[in-house]
Amino acid sequence: MSTPVETGSRVRCERDGGILRLVLDRPPLNVADVAMLEALDAALRSEAASPDTRVVVLAGAGRAFCAGADVADHVPARAPQMIRVFGRVIRGLLDLEVPSVAAVHGAALGGGCELAMACDLVWAREDARLGQPEVRVGAFPPAAAALLPRLVGPQAALDLVLTGRTIGAEEALRMGLVSRVLPVDSFEAEVRSMAAELAGLSRPVLGVARRAVREAIGRPPGTALDRAESLYLEDLLPLRDAAEGVAAFMEKREPAWRDA
């Protein structure tokens, strides 16, 4: 049973054990205005940073995940504030100490697609549509320009950013923008089940593993390996959960994670 947490009216926070659901809630398509982004930023700084949080699921209410940032905020007088707040949200997702999941249904366009790609995992409903259409209204997506090349490679990133085309969930999966494609009928149930599986793992072990992968991005292979080995020896092995995981495997039992 999920428990609501008080936040701004445009973002609902719901707790279900170690799972924190941040639900974008601005009908009908969850277009992100500055108020929504401020509320999401506040939730990432407070609720997501809580030691009780083991996984963060970013989702959208109603018909869509998020159909983009409010075009009215792209005018010169308002764009600087929007870019600053949106950047804080993207950095907040990237800097989380726990895994983050974007549960994408309907449209994830523009800023909505950028929010999804800032998460560690993107689980998309099979009828989801993703894209960066900013070029068609005389703009470009800063977060996508920074994040897309490392996810899908430079050519696919340029294809999406320069054409502004929208793609389906299966193409996004083949491209590397989406982690998994889930059926329409069982989407919510499967998201909750897989999120619960993540939440049942060791929080600090997941945190170190997440850092190892994220810090490898953009580094030469040898340098990335050096850093991963350092994290393994210096950050992972001292954890009680590292010893517990090995002991549980050897003793053929379920691990009892101990670290907070």
Sole residue written with tokens 């445009």: 10
Catalytic annotation present for 114: yes
Catalytic annotation present for 229: no
Single out the catalytic residue among 6, 47, 97, 114.
114
**Environment class of 231 (CB within 10 Å of its CB; exposed 0-12, middle 13-18, buried 19+):** middle
* Pairing outcome for strands 107-109 and 55-60: unpaired
Cβ count within 10 A of residue 238: 11
- The residue among 135, 138, 191 whose CA lies nearest residue 161 is 135
Single out the catalytic residue among 38, 47, 126, 134.
134
- Round to whole Å and give the CA distance between 132 and 144: 8
The first and second tokens of residue 145, run together, are 């320009």
Q: Which residues, 6 or more positions from 181, have their beta carbon under 8 angstroms from its beta carbon? A: 124, 125, 126, 169, 170, 173
DSSP letter assigned to residue 179: S
Q: 3-state secondary structure string, 80-97?
A: HHHHHHHHHHHHHHHCCC
Catalytic residues: 114, 134
